[in-house]
Amino acid sequence: MTPASWPGGKRVAVLVSVLLENWTDGKWPSYFTRTTPIRPGAVDHAGIEWSHFGGREGIWRILKLLERRGLKATIFTSGRAGELYPDAVRAAAAAGHDVAAHGYAQDVFYSELTREQQQASIRQCCEILRAASGRRPTGWASPVYSWNEETFDILASEGFTWYADALDISLPRLRRTASGALVALPWSDFVDNRVLRASPRDFFEVYKETFDFLDRAEPLGLLHIAVHSHFGGRPLMAAMFEKTLAYFQSAGSVWFPGHAELAQWFLDQKIEDLAYRKRFFA
């Protein structure tokens, strides 16, 4: 039977995600807030420097923000970020945040790798994050959604219990593979990089309106809010991120699980999914 609410009778669950991403040496993000492109083929030194803001400053500002709000987040971390900024990963884990794996680097596309290459890269990422955080990650999100038909079976065989790459649902579902089952969790529909060039206030407005809709019309609603350390860790976005979290907390009808906690709650229900049709259409 589909549950009627989240634990404690809460109407809305809010997942809080922070992405700590890096690129391999000599690579850079495909975009940032520059408005005039540089010549094709040129090394984008500014883009490389922009990408390192997350580990140098952004993640620290976000960790302090979450401490003020008394909230725990899932820190999706590139293996390369764990190599470059192990102190940040260590601090996040020490503060009680869950460190999840986010591939080795943002320019490593798992959809283009062989099964053996994927497995080796996943193991490499896990070992880096284990060394930095003190525990092996149990959750995963693929860089730029770059998974293929073998990725989830590999994750299950490597001991992962959940992943956050699902794009066909708004609530958890079970994904069965030959190597075992994983809990598939939805990603966020609206992330900080969508608004930094325009009005950061849009970030607050979108999440506020979404939350109000779920709280009003869809008990057992799930809202996933996510920020990148190199975008959301800048003061103008961090201000909106904190304002949004404060609004959620003021509602009083919210459950703030981590991804691992939500995945375990779902497994305890012993169901396959929480499909909208099952919830609202007999």
pLDDT, one tens digit per residue, over 131-190 is 999 999 999 999 999 999 999 999 999 999 999 999 999 999 999 999 999 999 999 989
Residue 282: what pLDDT?
A: 73
Least confident of 59-68, 191-200, 264-273: 191-200
Euclidean distance between the first and final Cα of the chain, in Å? 12
Residue 227 has φ and ψ, to the nearest 5°, of -135, 150
What are the structure tokens assigned to 10, written together?
Answer: 């809460």
Q: Answer yes or no: is 38 within a domain.
A: no
Please report which confidence band the pLDDT of residue 102 belongs to, taking 50, 70 and 90 as the band edges: very high
Mean pLDDT across the chain: 95
pLDDT digits (tens, 9 = 90+) for 183-216: 999 999 899 988 887 899 999 999 999 999 999 9
| In-domain check, residue 2 | no
More confident residue, 282 or 127: 127
Considering the domain boundaries, does residue 115 fall inside one? yes
pLDDT at 100: 98
Instruction: Judge whether 33 lies within some domain.
Output: no
- Residue 270 has a pLDDT of 95
CA distance 75 to 80: 14
Helix 59-69 / helix 86-94 crossing angle, nearest 10 deg? 10
Percentage, residues of the chain above pLDDT 70:
100
DSSP 3-state assignment of 230?
helix
Q: Per-residue pLDDT for 251 more than 80?
A: yes
Residue 203 lies in a domain: yes
Instruction: Tell me the DSSP string of 126-147.
Output: HHHHHHHHSS---EE--GGG--
pLDDT tens-digit profile of 33-62? 788 888 988 999 999 999 999 999 999 999
Whole domain around residue 207: which residue ranges?
Answer: 7-26+44-280
pTM: 0.96
Residue 35 belongs to a domain: no
- Give domain status of residue 31, yes or no: no
**Torsion angle (degrees, nearest 10) of CA 94, 231, 255, 10:** 180
- Mean pLDDT, residues 95-103 taken together: 98
In the chain, the number of structural domains is: 1
Which stretch of 33-37, 185-189, 234-238, 262-266 has the lowest confidence by average pLDDT? 33-37
Residue 260 lies in a domain: yes
Over residues 261-278, the mean pLDDT reads: 95
Mean pLDDT (whole number) for 240-251: 97
Q: Does residue 148 contact residue 181 with C-beta atoms inside 8 Å?
A: no
Q: Which of 24-33, 103-112, 203-212 has the lowest mean pLDDT?
A: 24-33
Domain of 254, CATH number, reads: 3.20.20.370
